């Protein structure tokens, strides 16, 4: 009898350990961190051509074309972004730079070549639209995973792919969303779908990763869409000519290059 | 000079891998004044069709950019004209030197439509009739050299031939002439007399009359700090030549500093400058402006997702004020005598709507000391990526007819502008 009890408690302990490790694998915060890093911090740096199509609720389309350079200064931490606009014509040659500071206010600068004007822009509102699209500044450079509380909701299937379903709620009240449900690919940790809800529980925005390719060994979302369900508009972003780990230098993300685009990377 | 040319030849970039881009726009601008009894030749403040062509070419070590405007202007008499707005080459020498040589638009300093250390040519005439922002600056033929090292960035702009600000000339926009009305001063235009066509002589084309503008810039924490020095002339013809009976550009040295950075969830800027009027060092020359010290503070913040607001306060302190006041009382007792300290308050509000396809904008200058005001309002609709439509208005008012904005009180106008951009 004593032995039996001992065996039972031992096997319970083993079971508990298993359960714990299984639970650890499904730690929602760890998944969101990994997802954030694979989506926003791929490689040490990256260059891509971006084609944006903005469609309003009446189906009218507008295009934006730009080249984007990114440099990670710290994995999961500070990043620098550089954007060179090509289209439409009224913003052609304009450059835009962001020093992303995850635990503070980002620093943003714009350079308007037609009047040779360098101007810092107040960057208080990360939830404001990026170039009039349905993506916000935060969608472009990422909302840090530590700003939300994450709950693991289960493993599911999305278009035949197994996904983690994670619910995220901002730690501090945030006007961008009250709740977000993310569907994260269980193999490459890329977000395949994100549903944003307001505080009344109504879905306000919907993100979809439409096409994924492996570039330089790094799984990359090549086409993505953000739908604004409130406005009935959507924005599709297609990446092309992506290269990772090209050896971008911190010096590029300065006023000198804001005024003189690095033609080695931007033709 | 020869050394410089050789230097340029030595680094002439080879366009091995190259790209050529052509783009531009076609634009129509129509404006009419809403004041009666303006002594100008026309009621139309603008009636122009403009074709701008932009051409750019990149090589491995350098690049070329050209911007050429062709326009038809029918506000007064019909005329065709063209202007090379920009035409420069850019190249790098070593790792630390950047050069930009040719006809170019230049800007520095921190103010929003207030310029203390930015002594590059402005085109106020274009601003007043509703042309695009890019026309606020007039091009200069200049050589810009920038030297970068870990201690900061040093810029030097040499403009061999003085380039003045572009101001209303009396044909379409009237202005204040202190000699008119038997020396009492009046708002004049060419409708009163063709002699009121305002075109003061610029300093002679001598090397000693060239302009040198320098800046040393450095980041300190969150702030971009800068020191400035300029040797040249006032960009507005503030002086008077009693022999030739004409306005002139007085000699100027300018020493200044600025600071700008992100604080309090917005952007804050501070700038100051000492204007050394070299032809009136003691303030006793009644025909030349007194030296002055000017300061500016400004703050901008995004108050809602698509709403940005800023405010600025500029102070300008005239040196040797008592001498100025005594002279004014003696020569023109009825005329306006400005205060020792000039104040200017401004505010800009920009609201973007409908996914940034509608842009509403308002900018107001108000001087409590000069009691005058200038307001610019506009609404722009981007109908497609190519076509945009803009309507706007420029309103001036003032208690006195000789002040900066008060003199333009009869030039209030509304305008309509359509642009087709292509590339």
DSSP code string of B342-397: EEEEEEEEEEEETTTTEEEEEEEEEETTTTEEEEEEEEEEE-SSSEEEEEEEEEEE
Using CA coordinates, name the residue in chain A closest to B359: A132
Asked if the Cβ–Cβ distance from B304 to A87 is below 8 Å, we say: no
Query: Is 90 exceeded by the pLDDT of residue A236?
Result: yes
Asked if the Cβ–Cβ distance from A263 to B148 is below 8 Å, we say: no
pLDDT one-digit tens code per residue, B118-169: 999 999 999 999 999 999 999 999 999 999 999 999 999 999 999 999 999 9
What mean pLDDT comes out for the span A224-248? 97
Asked if the Cβ–Cβ distance from A124 to B306 is below 8 Å, we say: no
Q: How far apart are the first and last CA of chain B?
A: 38
Give the Cα separation of A123 and B162 in Å (integer).
39
Q: Which residues contact A164 (CB under 8 A, 6 or more apart)?
A: A26, A28, A31, A152, A154, A155, A182, A183, A184, A186
Helix (H) or strand (E) holding A9: helix A2-25
Write the DSSP symbol of residue B9: H
Least confident of A4-8, A120-124, B30-34, B397-401: A4-8
Assign a CATH topology to domain A5-259: outer membrane lipoprotein receptor (LolB), chain A (2.50.20)
Band (A2; pLDDT cuts 50, 70, 90): low
Main-chain phi, psi angles of A183, to 5 degrees: -115, 110
Contact B137, B127 (CB under 8 A): no
Query: Is 60 exceeded by the pLDDT of residue B384?
Result: yes
Query: Is 90 exceeded by the pLDDT of residue B292?
Result: yes
Asked if the Cβ–Cβ distance from B355 to A120 is below 8 Å, we say: no
Query: Is 90 exceeded by the pLDDT of residue B23?
Result: yes
From B331's Cα to the closest Cα of chain A, the distance in A is 41
Q: Which residues contact B100 (CB under 8 A, 6 or more apart)?
A: B88, B89, B90, B143, B144, B146
Asked if the Cβ–Cβ distance from B224 to A120 is below 8 Å, we say: yes
Mutation for A interface: B135, B262, B422, most A CBs within 10 A? B262
Asked if the Cβ–Cβ distance from B58 to A107 is below 8 Å, we say: no
From B304's Cα to the closest Cα of chain A, the distance in A is 8
Q: Which residues contact A262 (CB under 8 A, 6 or more apart)?
A: A69, A252
What mean pLDDT comes out for the span B325-343? 91
User: Which residue is listed with tokens 């007039």?
Assistant: B138
Among A60, A92, A120, beta carbon nearest to B423: A92
Among A89, A112, A125, beta carbon nearest to B422: A89
Tell me what pLDDT residue A247 has. 96
Give the Cα separation of A80 and B240 in Å (integer).
52
Using CA coordinates, name the residue in chain A closest to B299: A122
Question: How many interchain CB pairs under 8 A, A with B?
Answer: 105
Tell me what pLDDT residue B77 has. 84
Tell me what pLDDT residue B366 has. 98
What mean pLDDT comes out for the span B270-299? 96
User: How many CA atoms lie within 13 Å of B174's alpha carbon, on the beta-carbon side?
Assistant: 33
Query: By C-alpha distance, which of A169, A206, A156 is closest to A32?
Result: A169
Band (A5; pLDDT cuts 50, 70, 90): low
From A159's Cα to the closest Cα of chain B, the distance in A is 31
Query: Is 90 exceeded by the pLDDT of residue A13?
Result: no
pLDDT one-digit tens code per residue, A62-94: 999 999 999 999 999 999 999 999 999 999 999
Asked if the Cβ–Cβ distance from B153 to A121 is below 8 Å, we say: no
Main-chain phi, psi angles of B137, to 5 degrees: -105, 135
Q: Which residues contact B236 (CB under 8 A, 6 or more apart)?
A: B164, B165, B167, B249
Contact A45, A82 (CB under 8 A): no
Give the Cα separation of A113 and A92 in Å (integer).
9
Query: Is 70 exceeded by the pLDDT of residue B1?
Result: no
Give burial (CB, 10 Å; 0-12/13-18/19+) of B88: buried
Band (B207; pLDDT cuts 50, 70, 90): very high
Chain A residues with CB-CB distance to B25 below 8 A: 89-90
Neighbouring C-beta atoms of residue B147, cutoff 10 Å: 15
What mean pLDDT comes out for the span A34-49? 97
Mutation for A interface: B59, B120, B122, B267, most A CBs within 10 A? B267
A121 CB within 8 Å of a chain B CB: yes
As a dihedral over the C-alpha atoms of residue B170, residue B131, residue B77, residue B192, rounded to 10 degrees, the angle is: -10
Neighbouring C-beta atoms of residue A109, cutoff 10 Å: 22
Q: Which CATH class is domain B2-422?
A: mainly beta
What mean pLDDT comes out for the span A91-104? 93
Supply A105's token pair: 């206010």
Tell me what pLDDT residue A6 has. 62
Tell me what pLDDT residue B403 has. 97
pLDDT one-digit tens code per residue, A120-163: 988 777 888 999 999 999 999 899 999 999 999 999 999 999 99
Give burial (CB, 10 Å; 0-12/13-18/19+) of A7: exposed
Q: Domain segments of chain B: what residues?
A: 2-422
As a dihedral over the C-alpha atoms of residue B74, residue B79, residue B80, residue B82, rounded to 10 degrees, the angle is: -90
Tell me what pLDDT residue A267 has. 83
Among B90, B104, B355, beta carbon nearest to A132: B355
The model's pTM is 0.91
A91 CB within 8 Å of a chain B CB: no
CA angle B168, B169, B172 (to 5 degrees): 75
A123 CB within 8 Å of a chain B CB: yes
Band (A21; pLDDT cuts 50, 70, 90): very low
Contact B176, B185 (CB under 8 A): yes
Helix (H) or strand (E) holding A16: helix A2-25
Query: Is 50 exceeded by the pLDDT of residue B78?
Result: yes
Write the Ramachandran bin of A191: left for phi over 0, alpha for psi from -120 to 50, otherwise beta.
beta
pLDDT one-digit tens code per residue, A181-227: 999 999 999 999 999 999 999 999 999 999 999 999 999 999 999 99
A107 CB within 8 Å of a chain B CB: yes
Contact B214, B155 (CB under 8 A): yes
Chain B residues with CB-CB distance to A118 below 8 A: 107
Give the Cα separation of B87 and B101 in Å (integer).
8
Chain B residues with CB-CB distance to A92 below 8 A: 23, 423
Distances (CA, A) of B33 to B36, B46, B415: 8, 9, 9
Tell me what pLDDT residue A25 has. 59
What mean pLDDT comes out for the span B24-42? 94
Contact A93, A65 (CB under 8 A): no
Tell me what pLDDT residue B14 has. 41
Give the Cα separation of A185 and A192 in Å (integer).
6
B385 CB within 8 Å of a chain A CB: yes
Among B217, B305, B382, beta carbon nearest to A129: B305
**Three-state DSSP class for residue A137:** helix
Band (B48; pLDDT cuts 50, 70, 90): very high
Chain B residues with CB-CB distance to A94 below 8 A: none
Question: Quick check: ipTM above 0.90?
Answer: yes
Please give the mean pLDDT across all residues of chain A.
91
Least confident of A120-129, A214-223, B191-200, B312-321: A120-129
Query: Considering only residues 203 to 242 of chain A, which have any Cβ-Cβ distance to chain B shorter than 8 Å?
Result: 231, 233
Asked if the Cβ–Cβ distance from B107 to A117 is below 8 Å, we say: yes
User: Which residue is listed with tokens 């030749």?
Assistant: B41
From A162's Cα to the closest Cα of chain B, the distance in A is 35
Least confident of A7-11, B242-246, B289-293: A7-11
């Amino acid at each position: 009898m004593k032995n039996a009890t001992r065996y039972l408690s031992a096997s319970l302990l083993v079971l508990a350990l298993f359960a714990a490790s299984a639970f650890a694998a499904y730690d929602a915060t760890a998944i969101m961190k990994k997802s954030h890093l694979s989506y926003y911090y791929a490689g040490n740096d990256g260059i891509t051509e971006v084609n944006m199509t903005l469609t309003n609720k009446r189906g009218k389309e507008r295009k934006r074309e730009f080249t984007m350079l990114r440099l990670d200064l710290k994995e999961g931490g500070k990043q620098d972004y550089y954007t060179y606009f090509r289209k439409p014509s009224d913003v052609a040659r304009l450059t835009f730079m962001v020093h992303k500071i995850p635990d503070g206010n980002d620093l943003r600068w714009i350079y308007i070549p037609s009047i040779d004007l360098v101007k810092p822009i107040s960057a208080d509102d990360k939830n404001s639209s990026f170039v009039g699209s349905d993506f916000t500044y935060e969608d472009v450079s990422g909302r840090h995973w530590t700003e939300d509380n994450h709950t693991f909701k289960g493993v599911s299937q999305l278009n035949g792919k197994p996904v983690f379903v994670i619910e995220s709620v901002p730690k501090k009240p945030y006007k961008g969303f009250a709740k977000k449900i993310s569907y994260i690919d269980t193999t490459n940790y890329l977000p395949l779908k994100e549903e944003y809800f307001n505080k009344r529980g109504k879905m306000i925005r919907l993100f979809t990763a439409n096409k994924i390719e492996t570039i330089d060994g790094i799984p990359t979302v090549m086409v993505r869409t953000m739908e604004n369900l409130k406005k009935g508009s959507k924005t599709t972003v297609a990446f092309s000519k992506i290269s990772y780990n090209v050896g971008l230098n911190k010096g590029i993300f300065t006023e000198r290059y804001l005024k003189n685009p690095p033609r080695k990377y931007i033709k | 000079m020869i050394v410089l040319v050789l230097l340029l030849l030595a680094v002439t970039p080879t366009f091995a891998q190259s790209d050529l881009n052509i783009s531009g726009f076609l634009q129509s601008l129509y404006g009419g004044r809403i004041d009666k009894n303006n002594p100008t030749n026309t009621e139309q403040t603008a009636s122009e069709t403009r074709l701008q062509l932009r051409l750019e070419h990149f090589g491995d070590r350098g690049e070329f950019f050209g911007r050429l405007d062709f326009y038809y202007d029918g506000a007064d008499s019909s005329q065709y004209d063209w202007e090379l707005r920009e035409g420069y080459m850019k190249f790098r020498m070593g790792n630390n030197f950047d050069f930009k040589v040719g006809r170019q638009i230049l800007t520095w300093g921190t103010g929003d439509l207030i310029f203390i250390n930015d002594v590059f040519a402005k085109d106020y005439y274009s601003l007043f009739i509703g042309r695009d922002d890019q026309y606020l600056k007039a091009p200069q033929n200049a050589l810009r050299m920038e030297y970068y090292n870990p201690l900061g960035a040093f810029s030097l702009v040499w403009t061999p031939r003085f380039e003045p600000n572009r101001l209303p000339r009396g044909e379409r926009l009237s202005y204040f002439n202190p000699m008119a009305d038997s020396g009492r001063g009046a708002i004049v235009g060419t409708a009163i007399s063709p002699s009121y066509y305002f075109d003061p002589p610029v300093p002679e084309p001598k090397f000693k009359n060239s302009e040198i503008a320098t800046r040393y810039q450095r980041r300190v924490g969150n702030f971009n700090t800068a020191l400035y020095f300029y040797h040249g002339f006032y960009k507005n013809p503030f002086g008077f030549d009693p022999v030739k009976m004409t306005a002139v550009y007085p000699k100027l040295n300018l020493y200044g500093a600025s600071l700008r950075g992100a604080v309090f969830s917005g952007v804050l800027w501070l700038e100051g400058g000492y204007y050394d009027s070299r032809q009136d060092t003691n303030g006793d020359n009644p025909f030349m402006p007194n030296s002055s010290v000017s300061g500016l503070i400004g703050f901008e913040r995004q108050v809602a997702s698509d709403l940005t607001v800023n405010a600025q306060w500029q102070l300008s302190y005239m040196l040797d004020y008592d001498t100025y006041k005594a002279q004014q009382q003696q020569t023109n007792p009825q005329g306006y005598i400005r205060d020792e300290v000039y104040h200017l308050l401004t505010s800009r509000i920009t609201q973007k709507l409908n996914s940034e396809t509608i842009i509403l904008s308002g900018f107001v200058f108000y001087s409590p000391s000069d009691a005058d005001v200038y307001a610019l309002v506009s609404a722009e609709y981007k109908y497609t990526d190519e076509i945009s439509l803009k309507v706007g208005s420029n309103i001036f008012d003032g208690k006195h007819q000789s002040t900066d904005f008060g003199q333009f009180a009869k030039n209030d106008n509304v305008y309509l502008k359509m642009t087709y951009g292509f590339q």
